Amino acid sequence: MDKALLTTSVNFEFLRPDNEPLAASGALAEAVLHIDPGSALTRLRGFAEEVTKAIYKEELLPRLPQSSFFELLQADINDLPDDSIAVKRELRLVHQLRQTDLLKTLDASTQHLLINTISPLMSARVLRDKHASALDKQMAMIERCLVDRASCFEDGRDQLLAELDRLAVNIQAVRRKDDILAEVRSADFWQQPGIDKLEKARKELRGIMKYRQSGGGGAYAMPSTRTGDGGVKEGEREVKIAGANEAMQYRRRLKGILDAMVEANPTLQKIRKGESIAEQELKTLTSTILTSHPGVSLDTLNEFYGRTADQLQLTVREIIGLDRQAVETHFTRFLHAHPNLTAQQVRFMNLLKNYIAQYGSIMVEKLYEPPFDSISHEGIDGVFAPEDVDELVSVLKPFLKEEASHGR
């Protein structure tokens, strides 16, 4: 073939005045495309690397330390166990790849060797962290589906979120990843996906995947929609809360979501003011949370607490609390009826109002426990007369709750 055909190209010629080697590299890859596609692909990869280097040099960008493609290949081959029967059969070739520069050249024969001989040997590697490796494979599948714009992307997303929901949130290592977990669970993450975002998540999360749990307490089957070749297909992803510690973490996560929504959500504003809520308003609120935060459901926590659907408002109220002024207004009649409260009684009432505003409800037993026993070791009985205690408990009736099947 004429040398000129190998070094000139309409597509890459514009680069030649500023970067002769780059233009020649691109032209050569283009010229051999139909003759040797494998070689063309390798040369294009080299071209892409050179373009990246040129950009970093031109823009004076900082270079983060990371393994090169060659180093990653070398590390995988070095991991092959010499005592494996399958590896022993090809040990000469394995040693050759370990000890020579064949991987750096990556010519057609080396590529053939990697694909047909070395690749099957990778199953003999001893995985140091099988859970991390499983996440790597899962993310690779999601990324491939993203690039192909295939419906398997949604399936991969749902599977990943289901795996993240199994993480034991009472473990410190998992709690340290709260920020990235919240990001991956958010709707924005999946509405505007990217390989860089997925890779960041993979690197951040692979170390904690070994902390997944099986089994649990309350469970909620969350609908997920997948689009396949035959149309729209409905599936379900079950979210479970395994024990009181996990419920506490789940509640904390929900509180962060709800607190951020209060100012703009009329339903939450009504709940904070102690107003009644229609069933449809609660359904809309639950749906809104699921849409913006896949994997987070009010119904899951409500069920864990042993409550029915019509008690969901109480669960939400306990998470976001009540408006301080609404609580103050509720106690106005009692305070007017007792204008001569002692300093001790005033302190008790302030504690009571603050507690209800923060937690949305209270049990009668709590009136004899901290923080109320800090005023009198007898609790409310040591502060008010018996008839006043009965009256105050009657005033508290809208805020009283019974012990649920799970502790809080």
Q: Where are the chain's structural domains?
A: 3-59, 69-124, 130-214, 244-320, 324-399
Distance CA 132, CA 211 (A): 11
| pLDDT above 80 (res 194) | yes
DSSP SS3 for 160: helix
Distance CA 29, CA 45 (A): 9
Do 187 and 292 contact (CB within 8 A), yes or no?
Answer: yes
Residue with tokens 């924005």: 188
With bands split at pLDDT 50, 70 and 90, how would you rate the model's confidence at 392? very high
With bands split at pLDDT 50, 70 and 90, how would you rate the model's confidence at 219? very low
- Most confidently modeled of 13-22, 76-85, 290-299, 346-355? 346-355
**Which sign, positive or negative, has the C-alpha torsion 213, 216, 222, 225?**
positive
List Cα–Cα distances, 238 to 211, 215, 295, in angstroms: 18, 11, 9
Residue with tokens 């009432």: 349
Q: Taking the CA atoms of the chain, what radius of gyration do you get in angstroms?
A: 32
For residues 125 and 119, which has the higher predicted lDDT (pLDDT)? 119
- 143-183 residue pLDDT tens: 999 988 888 999 999 889 888 877 877 678 888 888 898 88
| pLDDT above 50 (res 41) | yes
Among 18-27, 287-296, 368-377, which is the least confidently predicted range? 287-296
The fraction of the chain above a pLDDT of 90, given in percent, is 31
**Which sign, positive or negative, has the C-alpha torsion 164, 166, 169, 173?**
negative
Do 242 and 248 contact (CB within 8 A), yes or no?
Answer: no
- Strands 231-241, 218-228: parallel, antiparallel or unpaired by DSSP? antiparallel
In the Cβ-directed half-sphere of 355, how many Cα atoms lie within 13 Å? 19
- The pLDDT, as a whole number, for residue 327 is 94
With bands split at pLDDT 50, 70 and 90, how would you rate the model's confidence at 270? very high
Mean model confidence pLDDT for the chain? 82
- The pLDDT, as a whole number, for residue 201 is 93
With bands split at pLDDT 50, 70 and 90, how would you rate the model's confidence at 354? very high
With bands split at pLDDT 50, 70 and 90, how would you rate the model's confidence at 243? low
Strand partners, 219: 240
- The pLDDT, as a whole number, for residue 17 is 84
Do 220 and 315 contact (CB within 8 A), yes or no?
Answer: no
| pLDDT above 70 (res 241) | no
| pLDDT above 70 (res 4) | no
| pLDDT above 80 (res 228) | no
Backbone phi, then psi, for 213, in 5-degree steps?
-115, 160
Do 234 and 155 contact (CB within 8 A), yes or no?
Answer: no
Among 27-31, 35-39, 196-200, 236-240, which is the least confidently predicted range? 236-240
| pLDDT above 90 (res 368) | yes
- For residue 165, with 0-12 CB atoms within 10 Å meaning exposed, 13-18 middle and 19 or more buried, which class applies? buried
Residue with tokens 């993450």: 189
| pLDDT above 60 (res 43) | yes
DSSP 8-state assignment for residue 309: G
